[in-house]
Amino acid sequence: MQKRLRIPRVLLYLLLSVISIVFLIPFFYALYTSFLPLQYVDRIVSFDKFTINNYVTLFTKFKVGRWYWNTFIMTLITVTGNVILDTMAGYALAKFRFRGRNIIFIIVLASMMVPFQLIITPMYIMIAKINWHNTMMGLTIPFLYSPIYIFMARQFFITIPKELEEAATIDGLSKAKTFFKIILPISGSIIASIVILNFTTTWNAYLVPSTFVTDRDKYVLVVGLRTVNDAHFARPNLIMAGVILTTLPVLLLFLRFQKYFVQGIATSGLKA
């Protein structure tokens, strides 16, 4: 197997590396700018002009530490909720037979077609009515599920051969037990997908946190970092430092979770 791809393999690495560099350009720009004093932004300077002042300023003059914590909690809760609720819903839609299954699936799809900006105002009014604004509840509870991950989970579970479940049923497991004991353990890659993607979108979310939370202490990272600009001029160096601070945790999470994108053991059980 190795022999056939030997020459193309080198080409492959080359291609992947070139594309990598292209993909990393904004990141490098952000990284570079985050170490510059304001007057050197957008210029090429030698390393001795570099400073970590921008990062220091963010943590001292602004409440970046606090915002990190807020974002982390919000994301943790939201992702956990999504992993549990969306896989359950997706599995039901994929593997159960029940009345209304198709309608519910269409509703899930249709829910993605409503521009979110439309409902954020009524949502805020509802949130404010129950005093959930400026609270973690308001930021998390309405978002513990997402149609897209339900959709994704459904598609994923469809590909799991039904022989697996039939075997479980024969062994006397109920449908629910089958899900928790048999299916989930081999669903590493879909769970990883939901974790990675939901973490990213929640962590980077701006619209909801900026509308629902107006208390500076309770800001989320992205919202807080918007405040580092002054009224009249932007501070790209601080902004880019903020971008790096925002991006790194997500990348670390990705690195950790993409390990689950390996061949599942779904099929090995079938041979027996």
Q: Rounded distance, CA 50 to CA 46, Å?
A: 8
Q: Which of 3, 6, 7, 16 binds another protein (CB under 8 A)?
A: 16
Only segment of 44-52, 63-71, 97-105 that touches another protein (CB under 8 A)? 97-105
Q: Which of 51, 53, 57, 204 binds another protein (CB under 8 A)?
A: 204
Q: Which of 69, 166, 174, 269 binds another protein (CB under 8 A)?
A: 174
Contact call for residue 119 and another protein (CB under 8 A): yes
Contact call for residue 66 and another protein (CB under 8 A): no
Q: Rounded distance, CA 152 to CA 143, Å?
A: 17
Only segment of 51-59, 63-71, 173-181 that touches another protein (CB under 8 A)? 173-181
Q: Rounded distance, CA 42 to CA 162, Å?
A: 58
Contact call for residue 124 and another protein (CB under 8 A): yes
Cβ 220 vs Cβ 74: under 8 Å: yes
Footprint of another protein on residues 23-62 (CB under 8 A)? 23-27, 29-30, 38-39, 42
Only segment of 44-52, 63-71, 123-131 that touches another protein (CB under 8 A)? 123-131
DSSP classification of residue 258: G
What does the angle CA 49 – CA 54 – CA 60 come to, to the nearest 5 degrees?
140
Contact call for residue 168 and another protein (CB under 8 A): no
Q: Rounded distance, CA 50 to CA 104, Å?
A: 56
Q: Rounded distance, CA 205 to CA 211, Å?
A: 11
DSSP classification of residue 261: -
Q: Which residues contact 88 (CB under 8 A, 6 or more apart)?
A: 179
Q: Which of 54, 63, 236, 238 binds another protein (CB under 8 A)?
A: 236
Cβ at position 181, least distance to another protein in Å: 7
- Contact flags string 183-202 toward another protein, x per CB under 8 A: -xxxxxxxxxx--xx--x--
Only segment of 48-56, 63-71, 93-101 that touches another protein (CB under 8 A)? 93-101
Only segment of 45-53, 63-71, 242-250 that touches another protein (CB under 8 A)? 242-250
Binding-site size, another protein (CB under 8 A): 140
- Return the C-alpha torsion angle 154, 77, 195, 269, nearest 10: -60
Cβ at position 197, least distance to another protein in Å: 6
Nearest CA-CA partner of 57 in 73, 33, 72, 37 = 37
